[in-house]
Structure 1
Amino acid sequence: MTGEQRPDEKTIQRNPHPNFKEVESSRPDWREEAKPSFTKTRKPDWKLGSGANDDGASLEKNHVEIDPYAEGRSPGLNYKLLISAVVPRPIGFLSTRSKDGQSTNLSPFSYFQVINSEPPLFIISFASSLENPKDSLRNLVESREGVINIVSDHFIEALNHTSINAPYGVSEFDVSGLHPADARHVQAPRVKEAVFSIEAKLVEIREYKSKLSPSRTTCVMAVVEGVNFWAREDAIDEQRSLVDPSVLRPVARLGGISYGRLTDLIELPRPEWEKLSAEEKAQLSHPNCKS
């Protein structure tokens, strides 16, 4: 069952196309050759304090305020707004198994993120409640473990089909045609096709109430700890510390029914204060800038 069913799909109208297949058929074919590659930044000669690299164009634009609790504004509008604006979002492709081992679930979550490396911690948000949990949340709470699989473009169609609103007990591995592979420290399987997977144990869980209907739970946030990693041999470096983006070919979640993949990459070294020139430090106003 999907991890992305926030408001009801018929209400939210996430798909803007009455006939999606007709729209899709009019678009260019998939560009297999469009693999991640590095380019220069937009302004390689950017200087300290120069601001945005659009020559001030963004300063000429006006903004509108949006009150999330404005009278008559539905929560569905906030949902559509946030998933279209807070992008790109990584997708946590979570595989779980029921405590009795009889049911396996596989579901995508874009309310997902890594939050620490020591210990390795991740958050996953569920539009559900502990009283009436969705499949993945039920399995995670009862078994206290799962596997987070990172999404690549070679199984994006299969991933999307795991968001089907199937009844409890139907395995999305069967729906998608993806293959389960054994993990080492958890009972839930990892996705064999995934370039990178994280075996995880539940650390803590917290419910959040609606601001409009305080008696109703609208979100459950789980914090999990990564206890073991799996990386495809051709994607990991010798130190086992860096995944090659040209092999991972990650996919991100955008608004509506849109996904995005990385093709143009840039690199920017983190600046170091000690390496700034005296002139650069002098142009800043902080009294401790000069040294």
Structure 2
Amino acid sequence: MSAEDRKALENKVKRSFHTDFKQVEASRSDWDSSASVQYTKTPNPNWKFGDGANHTHTETSAKHIAIDPYEPGRSLIDNYKLSISAVVPRPIAFISTRSRDGSKENLAPMSFFQMINADPPLFIFAVNSPLAAAKDTLRNLVETGECVINIVSEGIIEAVNATSIDAPYGVSEWDISGLTPVYDCQTVSCARVKECIFSIEAKIESIREFDSRANPGTKSGTLEVVEATRFWAREDALNQERNVIDLSILRPISRLGDISYGRTLQAFQLPRPEFEKDLNGIQGFEELKKRRGDTHI
């Protein structure tokens, strides 16, 4: 897919439902800067094995509908919009790269992003472009094999969103965003974002390219697996053992559907149960099965 084709496709996506977003935004409440992260109880602190859904689950007569992603008349845009509205919240990787000769730098937010392994520390993100028509991030990544993943916090979200602009290759999103590049990375040449609480230097482990179903014979996107080579954490957000980031300082922003983002202001904790200790092993499991009876659908 060429750059022109990608732009045409983006115009078809129509992420926003609003014809005049600024007018809609003006009618909404102001941002609450005083809001803090609070921990609550779980919905049902007295939940027991076998209890199923808690009281927040609403029973309904509405049926589930099966959707074939390749049914006649259904476009890849339909699948994309459905998926990003349902698979939420998604963490945002704010990725810094630079060209091999260092003359071109890029900043781009990616919400198809996740941690997948601890040893070695591996992360994945996806770029919706093939290698033959690589977006700026992918182009630099292929050239150098390295990047910095910066985690997005509330204090930089407008600047992060600005870097999603369709600027031509070579136009630096550092200037567009007004964010500060710091060139002190120890294993990669690209900069980390000074304003970010947590950043990850990373090098390419593998890149996989996908065949398009909508346009057979072409490629549609890539999956990047990168290995962390350094972690950077702001000292006031890091615990003494240097293994936990304070959520109330990180204040992460997540991606939702359409043009929506989310804040993390409420959390709860649930210890992971132990089979022998909490369920009484196989004996407890068999007793649980008897109490439940045949409830499978």
User: Gaps spanning 5+ residues in structure 1: where?
Assistant: 287-291
Aligned length: 283
Residue 281 (structure 1) shift: 3.4
Measured at CA, do residues 250 and 117 of structure 1 come closer, stay the same or move farther in structure 2, by a change above 3 Å?
same
How do residues 9-24 of structure 1 correspond to structure 2 at under 5 angstroms? Answer: 9-24=10-25
- Report which of the two has the higher share of helix: 2
Deviation at 1:62, TM superposition (A): 1.7
**Is this contact kept in 2: 1:148–1:199, CA < 8 A?**
yes
Q: Secondary structure at the match of 2:133?
A: coil
1:8 is paired with a residue whose SS is helix
User: In 1, Cα distance between the equivalents of 2:245 and 2:95?
Assistant: 20
What is the TM-score when the length of structure 2 is the normalising length? 0.91
Q: Do structure 1's residue 68 and structure 2's residue 69 form an aligned pair?
A: yes
Contact 2:42 2:269 in 1 (8 A): yes
The change in CA–CA distance for 1:51 and 1:6 in structure 2 (over 3 A counts) is farther
CA distance in 1, matches of 2:56, 2:177: 47
CA contact (8 A) 1:96 1:188 kept: yes
Report the counterpart of residue 204 of structure 2 in structure 1: 202
- Say which of 253, 256, 279 aligns to 1:254: 256
* Superposed CA offset, 1:166-203 (max 9, x none): 01111111000000012111001000000000000011
Residue 281 in 1 paired to residue 285 in 2? yes
Residue equivalent to 1:143: 144
The answer on whether the counterparts of 1:6 and 1:79 sit within 8 Å (CA) in structure 2 is no
Name 1:79's counterpart in structure 2: 80
What residue number does 1:229 align with? 231
- Aligned partners of 1:158, 1:44: CA distance in 2, in Å? 40
Residues of 2 paired with 1:55 and 1:258: CA distance?
24
- Relative to structure 1, the CA distance from residue 7 to residue 221 in structure 2 (aligned partners, 3 Å threshold; closer, same or farther) is farther
The 3-state SS of whatever aligns with 1:219 is strand
Superposed structure 1 runs of 4+ greater than 4 Å apart: 277-280
Q: 2:201 & 2:25 partners in 1: Cα distance?
A: 36
What is the SS of the residue equivalent to 2:41?
Answer: coil
Whether the aligned pair in 2 keeps the contact of 1:6 and 1:127 (CA below 8 Å) is no
**1:59 shift after superposition:** 5.8
Q: Aligned to 2:23, what secondary structure does the other structure show? A: helix
Counterpart for residue 132 of structure 1:
133
Identity between Structure 1 and Structure 2 (%): 52
Q: Paired residue for 2:112? A: 111
Task: Answer yes or no: is 1:54 the counterpart of 2:58.
Answer: no
